[in-house]
Amino acid sequence: MFSLLNLNPALAKGAGPCALTIGNFDGVHCGHQAMLARLKAAAAERGLPAAVMTFEPHPREVFTPELAPARLTSLREKIELFKTHGIDRVVLVRFSKRFASLSPQEFIQQILISGIQARWILIGDDFKFGAKRAGDLALLREAGTQQGFEVESLSSVLVDGERVSSTAVRAALTQGELDKAARYLGRPYSISGRVVHGDKLGKELGFPTANIQMKHNKPPLSGIFAVELNGLDGCRLPGVASLGVRPTVKTNGAATLEVHVFDFHERIYGAHVRVDFLHKLRDEEKYPDLPSLIAQIERDVVNAKAFFLNRQDAKSAKIG
């Protein structure tokens, strides 16, 4: 049974011993997935639930918010991915400067042993913990020998000869290399959210859109994309999406995600959907007037439909 625990020592202790891995897991990319798979295997061998300890907000959002990286996944998306990969328990740490001030020894004793009751711990080869990141693999293993828990580390995962990391995924997305990002993630990059009311401009222009509420206004990519909308009765609906600040119609606007689904006219306000980004068509641009913008949207729709047609032809050729 899946459970989500805020880090409260009494609550966590009540959940019982576990096998544990620790990290931000932003994106839950192929490297993270390898850790989750190893965690699941070790937990099963020991008859323990597989638990992930993760942080909210991202530590850099606490210490250097102006330099914090764009998030690849919201907290909800990350938790859903943990469920997908068979994790039994998520221990959510509300990251703060007070939490960050714990010494490595306090972190081990108060959090890992007394709180979470970790019996087996898996960490990455570059894992650091405690105040000033003073704790490392050697210190954790020494504590495990003394306190009776096992520690294992896992090396980085390589894809196409390159180390997979959240940073590498962000770089690929920023550069519009969606295929590379998908290889690192093991799936297309996506953004999930609820469909909310917008300013209805798309409908006025002849291209009604679903406006997707984003939890963070600093997405790792921007532009115009061929996408698939998922979450409506199991359907995968092709369309074209705009992700950006809409410079033609807004001044200093916030990042907005709008999806025009081809040949779709249902009202879906309130639905929680996922947008898979499959191909970047172009960068966002500012046009001199609305007729120019409409003409470009028409070209975007044509180009997106061509992408899906070519994609289907490629799939058919591979099957054949």
pLDDT band (50, 70, 90) for residue 7: low
CATH architecture of 3-159: 3-Layer(aba) Sandwich (3.40)
CA-CA distance, 300 to 297, in Å (whole number)?
5
Among 85, 90, 74, smallest CA distance to 23 is for 90
- SS3 of residue 279 by DSSP: strand
In order of 237, 253, 307, 312, the CA distances from 240 in angstroms are 10, 20, 10, 16
pLDDT of residue 250: 76
Q: Got the DSSP string for 93-125?
A: EE--HHHHTS-HHHIIIIIIIIIS-EEEEEEET
Q: Which of 80-89, 260-269, 307-316 has the highest mean pLDDT?
A: 80-89
pLDDT of residue 214: 87
Helices (H) and strands (E) in the chain, counts: 11, 14
All CATH 2.40.30.30 domain ranges of the chain, comma separated, are 188-319
Q: What is the four-CA torsion angle of 20, 17, 45, 159, rounded to 10 degrees?
A: -10
The single-letter code of the amino acid at 40 is: K
Topology (CATH) of 188-319: Elongation Factor Tu (Ef-tu); domain 3 (2.40.30)
**% of the chain beyond a pLDDT of 90:** 68
* 319, pLDDT greater than 70: no
Q: Which residue has the higher pLDDT, 65 or 283?
A: 283
All CATH 3.40.50.620 domain ranges of the chain, comma separated, are 3-159
Q: Are 58 and 68 in contact (CB under 8 A)?
A: yes
pLDDT of residue 10: 46
Q: Write the pLDDT tens digit of every residue in 181-225.
A: 999 999 999 999 999 987 777 777 778 899 999 877 789 999 999
pLDDT band (50, 70, 90) for residue 44: very high
Q: Write the pLDDT tens digit of every residue in 91-109.
A: 998 888 999 999 999 999 9
Q: Which residue has the higher pLDDT, 243 or 2?
A: 243
Which contiguous run of DSSP H or E holds residue 228? strand 223-232
- Give the global pTM: 0.90
Distance of CA 286 to the CA centre of its chain: 29
* 125, pLDDT greater than 90: no
